[in-house]
């Protein structure tokens, strides 16, 4: 291995004592298997088995904690005890390589198009119309908010019983936790909305409930992470700024979690890959640089966003302790082995002609086939709708 890349394989000790032997994680991405009933099909298992060497932490994407929280109908879910044995198929496939399986807990909120299609309902912090939706989410009652917090706790319990080594709470990408944090989508006048302090109440309550379940499990080495977006700004529509995010970072880091995970994305590379994107404050300082400084080693910090080469992995460690690979985990699950073996020049960012070898699920391929179909979907060279024949 080129010694230049030694930092990519430097040990990192998390707050709970778990020692990571490299700084790479596989970013959470919806795999979209064929099932809509919570069963895990074999193509999902093979997808994760093929990627179980991407990094020390393999984070599975978006597992719904309630039947009303599914972004897509074929999203995995984790709200019934019967899901335990199904999800254990995934955790076992991941852990075959000795790396760690991380469950991402998710509730889509207003973005639960899958639940609308399957069950006829979606829920949001406040009753309001969203111009990009062709359905009308219902407002969560106070009792339903409390029940949703418990649903996260229940899902955490099932995750641990299913053999997962850690839990990541999905608090970004415009899903329910971000919706509570956003002044745009949270118009509540009770304990869950209003000032920033009250808008942070739901994210903090979820973190505390999941943390309590981990403690109740008696397993000291279960990892707890929290993913969030540094800003929510769409033109004049401001949900929250980096200044607000830094308040949330302070509060969650003080809860004693193991890592914070910044979900940064950009359709335009103004200052390079999205992990080094600037914010709205015109400071000229990257969002993740500000967050990393604010955390101040209270927990580990993971960055992601268009990291596709060994050099970008190395650079990402200027902004955090860990980096997560999304697109590259799909196109070249052997990338970290190649760097370790001095073959970083062989990293591939193209799936052309390699669909079977890469064990791409049919659902995932459809999700990513056309980047123009939805916001935030990364372009993957070699993916074309011409390949889809099912």
Q: How confident is the model at residue 153 (pLDDT cuts 50, 70, 90)?
A: very high
User: Does the pLDDT of residue 231 top 70, yes or no?
Assistant: yes
Mean pLDDT, the chain, rounded, equals: 91
User: Does the pLDDT of residue 378 top 60, yes or no?
Assistant: no
Sequence-distant (6+) residues with CB within 8 A of 268 are none
pLDDT digits (tens, 9 = 90+) for 19-55: 999 999 999 988 877 788 888 999 999 999 999 999 9
Task: Provide the token pair at 174.
Answer: 């415009």
pLDDT mean over 334-359: 92
pLDDT mean over 274-297: 94
Q: How confident is the model at residue 267 (pLDDT cuts 50, 70, 90)?
A: low
Task: Provide the token pair at 124.
Answer: 């949001």
User: Does the pLDDT of residue 376 top 60, yes or no?
Assistant: no
pTM of the model: 0.94
User: Does the pLDDT of residue 351 top 90, yes or no?
Assistant: no
Sequence-distant (6+) residues with CB within 8 A of 287 are 230, 231, 242, 262, 264, 277, 278, 279
Q: How confident is the model at residue 386 (pLDDT cuts 50, 70, 90)?
A: very low
pLDDT digits (tens, 9 = 90+) for 79-94: 999 999 999 999 999 9
- What is the pLDDT at residue 271? 62
Sign of CA dihedral 233, 63, 145, 250: negative
User: Does the pLDDT of residue 368 top 60, yes or no?
Assistant: no
- What is the pLDDT at residue 388? 31
Residue with tokens 């004049």: 236
φ, ψ dihedrals at 174, nearest 5°: 65, 20
User: Does the pLDDT of residue 365 top 80, yes or no?
Assistant: no
pLDDT mean over 115-131: 95
Phi-psi region of 120 (alpha: psi -120 to 50; beta: other; left: phi over 0): left
Which ranges constitute the DSSP H helices of the chain? Answer: 42-50, 83-95, 113-119, 142-161, 176-181, 196-199, 201-217, 242-253, 287-295, 310-316, 327-331, 335-340, 362-368
């Amino acid at each position: 291995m080129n010694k230049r890349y030694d930092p990519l394989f430097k040990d990192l000790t998390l707050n709970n004592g778990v020692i990571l032997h490299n700084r790479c994680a596989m970013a959470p991405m919806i795999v979209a298997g064929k099932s809509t009933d919570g069963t895990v099909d074999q193509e999902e298992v093979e997808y994760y088995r093929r990627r179980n060497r991407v990094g020390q932490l393999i984070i599975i994407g978006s597992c719904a904690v309630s039947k009303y929280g599914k972004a897509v109908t074929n999203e995995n879910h984790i709200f019934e005890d019967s899901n335990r044995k199904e999800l254990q198929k995934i955790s076992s496939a991941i852990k075959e390589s000795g790396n760690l399986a991380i469950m991402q807990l998710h509730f889509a909120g207003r973005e639960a198009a899958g639940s609308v299609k399957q069950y006829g309902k979606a829920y949001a912090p406040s009753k309001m119309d969203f111009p990009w939706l062709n359905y009308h989410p219902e407002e969560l009652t106070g009792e339903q908010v409390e029940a949703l917090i418990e649903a996260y706790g229940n899902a955490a319990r099932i995750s641990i019983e299913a053999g997962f080594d850690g839990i990541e709470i999905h608090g970004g990408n415009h899903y329910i936790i971000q919706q509570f944090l956003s002044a745009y989508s949270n118009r509540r006048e009770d304990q869950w909305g209003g000032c920033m302090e009250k808008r942070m109440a739901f994210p903090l309550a979820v973190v505390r409930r999941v943390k309590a379940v981990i403690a109740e499990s008696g397993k000291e080495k279960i990892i707890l992470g929290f993913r969030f977006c540094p800003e929510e700004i769409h033109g004049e529509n401001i949900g929250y700024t980096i200044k607000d995010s830094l308040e949330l970072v302070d509060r969650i880091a003080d809860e004693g979690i193991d890592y914070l995970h910044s979900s940064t994305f950009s359709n335009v590379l103004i200052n390079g890959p999205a992990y080094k994107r600037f914010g709205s404050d015109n400071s000229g300082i990257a969002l993740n640089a500000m967050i990393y400084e604010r955390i101040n080693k209270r927990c580990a910090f993971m960055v992601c966003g268009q990291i596709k080469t060994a050099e970008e992995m190395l650079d990402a460690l200027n902004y955090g302790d860990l980096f997560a690979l999304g697109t590259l985990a799909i196109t070249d699950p052997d990338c970290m082995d190649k760097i370790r073996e001095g073959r970083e020049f062989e990293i591939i960012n193209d799936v052309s002609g390699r669909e079977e070898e890469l064990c791409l699920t049919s659902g995932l391929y459809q999700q990513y086939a056309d980047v123009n179909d939805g916001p935030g979907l990364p372009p993957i060279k070699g993916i074309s709708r011409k390949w889809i024949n099912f």
